[in-house]
Amino acid sequence: MAAITVENLSKRFQLGLTHAGSIRNLVNGFLSRVVGRNRSQGSHVLPEHADRVDEENNFWALKNVSFTVQPGEVVGIIGKNGAGKSTLLKILSRITSPSEGRITLRGRVASLLEVGTGFHPELTGRENVYLNGTILGMTRQEIDRQFDGIVDFAGVSRFIDTPVKRYSSGMTVRLGFAVAAHLDPEILIVDEVLAVGDVEFQKKCLGKMQDVSRSGRTVLFVSHNMASIRALTKNTLLISRGELLFNGPTSEAVSRYLAENSKRMAADGDVSTIERPFDGLSREMEMHRLSLVNANVEEGQAAEMKITVHSERSSEDFLVGLTFFRDDATPLGSTFSPALRGPAVGRNIEYTLSLPTEQLTPGQYYCSISIADVRTAGRRLFDSLSDVLPFEVHPQAVDARGWAKSWGVMRLPEMAVKSEGGSA
């Protein structure tokens, strides 16, 4: 019997809906319905999602999603921001209700959807552990048995009697995950919040989720990190624009995700070019246009990228960070530019970057790219794009040895050999 059954699940939100805060809001809402005034006024929907708004001005975050998850399965959920992943998890966690369809959950559910979910900021870490355990239906004796393990896993023993409002985001995530994973839920739901933790803690979390699944419990894991998805899951749901695009083997889901992402972000169907309007809402500096000059590179050559950076409120120096991934989502490494002079406020500058690909073996690759402040400790991030700009490295015509993926992701320099003694 399935641990999770989702049947024709849909969720809609009324755009521009205001609660009864004033007579003016009520009158404006009435007029918009009666005389057909601009009902989308005040509704912030990106142009790419405009076709998800129906004639009644409802935005469909999810539409006719159906799937099942068996007990003990670890299932990944991937998709771009705005695809509907978080809405799906909130419905499964009973934070919000569906507009249409039905879900059936067999077992107790523990979820970690965002930093501080379920924590009361005025209570201490200790008090929040017992509060969350009680909400999950645990007795005090059951929580007592797990308490030391929770605190040890989270690494917050020194602060366990400090109010959670004084925790850093990383501490909050560590304690939240530890509570969710240790209180014996039959179904564990984890969102991308693990990205807040350090690398060592992320490894601990992945190991814990594997332990949870081996004990016969079910895990739903949402992440933008394709390497983590591939390492942890065998099957993955790909959600795009509120619909379930694919449900099956993780390797195929990741391949479809990368292809879908490249098509969605490309300008005029050219996956080697991305153009983005500046939203002016949250970012001081943004990558406006990116393009690969040579999307087909001969082994040993460098690839070239052109990047146009727009400055809205900051003209600070910045650097470009680039991470390479193989087409199977294996991360290969990162490289950084020297400090670059930022454009004047309200202006654009185009930069040409030479990407070192000399050690990449023949095959297909893609990038994640970011721009960050060079002066701030921890490198304040201005803007980032994931899983973009696919390119291919072709073998040299004179090299007849070929290359197999099983040999590795980099071609190392040729070995030096010394021989001593006479002939063989």
Specify the CATH number for the domain of residue 359: 2.70.50.60
One domain, residues 209 and 337: no
pLDDT at 388: 80
Q: Answer whether residue 164 shows pLDDT above 70.
A: yes
Please give the sequence-ordered ranges of beta strands (E in DSSP) within 241-330, or none if there are none. 243-249, 266-267, 270-275, 285-292, 296-298, 303-311, 318-326
pLDDT at 166: 93
Domain of residue 191, CATH code: 3.40.50.300
One domain, residues 182 and 286: no
One domain, residues 218 and 312: no
Q: How far apart are CA 309 and CA 340, in angstroms?
A: 11
Q: What is the pLDDT of residues 132-153, one digit of tens each?
A: 888 777 889 989 999 999 999 9
By CB neighbour count within 10 A (0-12 exposed, 13-18 middle, 19+ buried), where does 131 fall? middle
> Which amino acid belongs to residue 273?
T
31 belongs to a structural domain:
no
State the chain's mean pLDDT as an integer.
Answer: 79
Q: Answer whether residue 118 shows pLDDT above 80.
A: no
276 belongs to a structural domain:
yes
Q: How many domains does the chain have?
A: 2
One domain, residues 250 and 286: no
422 belongs to a structural domain:
no
Cα atoms found within 13 Å of the Cα of residue 298, Cβ hemisphere only: 4
Q: Answer whether residue 236 shows pLDDT above 80.
A: yes
Q: Specify whether the CB–CB gap between 206 and 223 falls below 8 A.
A: no
pLDDT at 249: 93
One domain, residues 306 and 246: no
Query: Given pLDDT bands bounded at 50, 70 and 90, which one contains residue 130?
Result: very high
Q: What is the pLDDT of residues 183-199, one digit of tens each?
A: 778 898 888 766 555 66
One domain, residues 160 and 301: no
Q: Specify whether the CB–CB gap between 68 and 2 falls below 8 A.
A: yes
pLDDT at 148: 94
DSSP-assigned states of every residue in 307-344: EEEEESS----EEEEEEEEETTS-EEEEEEPPPBPPPP
Give the domain range for residue 156. 4-9+60-259
- Final residue before a domain boundary, out of 259, 294, 325: 259
- pTM > 0.85: yes or no: no
Q: What is the pLDDT of residues 338-387, one digit of tens each?
A: 988 888 888 899 999 888 777 788 888 888 888 988 876 456 788 888 77
One domain, residues 306 and 214: no
pLDDT at 8: 95
Query: Given pLDDT bands bounded at 50, 70 and 90, which one contains residue 293?
Result: confident
One domain, residues 243 and 294: no
One domain, residues 277 and 130: no
pLDDT at 313: 76
Specify the DSSP class assigned to residue 163. Answer: B
Question: Which of 167-171, 192-196, 278-282 has the least mean pLDDT?
Answer: 278-282
One domain, residues 126 and 208: yes
What is the percent of the chain with per-residue pLDDT over 70, rounded to a whole number? 78
- Mean per-residue pLDDT for 386-406? 67
Q: Answer whether residue 47 shows pLDDT above 70.
A: no
Q: Answer whether residue 16 shows pLDDT above 70.
A: no
Non-local (6+) Cβ contacts of 382 within 8 A are 283, 284, 285, 286, 314, 318, 370, 371, 372, 373
412 belongs to a structural domain:
no
- Mean per-residue pLDDT for 241-245? 92
Q: How far apart are CA 229 and CA 241, in angstroms?
A: 20
pLDDT at 40: 40
132 belongs to a structural domain:
yes
C-alpha dihedral, 199 to 200 to 205 to 210, nearest 10°? 110
35 belongs to a structural domain:
no
Q: Answer whether residue 269 shows pLDDT above 60.
A: no
Q: Answer whether residue 90 shows pLDDT above 80.
A: yes
Higher pLDDT, residue 10 or 303: 10
Higher pLDDT, residue 10 or 407: 10
C-alpha dist (Å) from residue 261 to 252, 256, 324, 390: 14, 8, 16, 10
37 belongs to a structural domain:
no
Characterize the bridge pairing of strands 348-355 and 331-336.
unpaired
Q: Answer whether residue 60 shows pLDDT above 80.
A: yes
Instruction: Map tokens 């979910």 to a residue.
Output: 117
Q: How far apart are CA 376 and CA 173, in angstroms?
A: 24
Instruction: Map tokens 């990228």 to a residue.
Output: 305
Non-local (6+) Cβ contacts of 414 within 8 A are none
Q: 3-state class of 77 per DSSP?
A: strand
Q: How many CB atoms lie within 10 A of CB 366?
A: 21
Q: Specify whether the CB–CB gap between 344 and 315 falls below 8 A.
A: yes
Q: How many CB atoms lie within 10 A of CB 119?
A: 21
One domain, residues 239 and 149: yes
Q: Answer whether residue 68 shows pLDDT above 90.
A: yes
Q: How far apart are CA 252 and CA 66, in angstroms?
A: 19
Query: Given pLDDT bands bounded at 50, 70 and 90, which one contains residue 38?
Result: very low
C-alpha dist (Å) from residue 365 to 64, 263, 335, 369: 34, 15, 15, 13
Cα Dmax for the chain = 101
Q: Answer whether residue 81 shows pLDDT above 80.
A: no
Angle between helices 125-135 and 169-182 (to 10 degrees): 40
338 belongs to a structural domain:
yes
pLDDT at 50: 64
Q: How far apart are CA 52 and CA 400, in angstroms?
A: 52
One domain, residues 150 and 251: yes
Tokens, residue 383: 């803007």
